[in-house]
């Protein structure tokens, strides 16, 4: 059974969100619009389609792309397009 989105898990309000808020404040990026569930979904695709160890690296690269002006959705979709397992990637052939 799949886990619910991170923001719907019981620990979200008590542990996870406060932890992320502390990190954001420490890194002086508080106030950034962070879609935790979208990033988590993208890293799941990378972990499944490439290798689990590449999931955090892909998140870093998405963050760099967003810092340079890409939307989070565009960056996540681009990573997913080249990372999804072969059977889930649409064929380019007609």
pLDDT of residue 90: 47
What does the domain layout of the chain look like in residue ranges?
Answer: 33-84
Instruction: Indicate left, alpha or beta for 28 from its phi (over 0: left) and psi (-120 to 50: alpha).
Output: left
Mean pLDDT by 10 residues, the chain (94 residues): 86 96 92 89 96 97 96 97 73 46
Cβ neighbours of residue 46 under 8 Å, at least 6 residues apart? Answer: 54, 55, 58, 79, 80, 83
pLDDT of residue 88: 54
User: pTM for the full model?
Assistant: 0.83
pLDDT of residue 15: 97
pLDDT of residue 94: 47
pLDDT of residue 33: 79
Crossing angle (nearest 10°) for helices 72-83 and 55-67: 140
């Amino acid at each position: 059974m799949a886990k619910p989105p991170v923001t719907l898990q019981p620990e979200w309000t008590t542990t996870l969100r406060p932890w992320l808020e502390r990190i954001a404040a420490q890194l002086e990026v508080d106030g950034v619009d962070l879609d935790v569930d979208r990033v988590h979904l993208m890293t799941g695709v990378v972990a499944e389609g490439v290798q689990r160890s590449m999931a955090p690296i892909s998140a870093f690269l998405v963050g760099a792309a967003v810092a340079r002006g890409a939307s989070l959705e565009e960056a996540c979709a681009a990573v997913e397009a080249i990372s999804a397992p072969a059977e889930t990637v649409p064929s380019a052939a007609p």
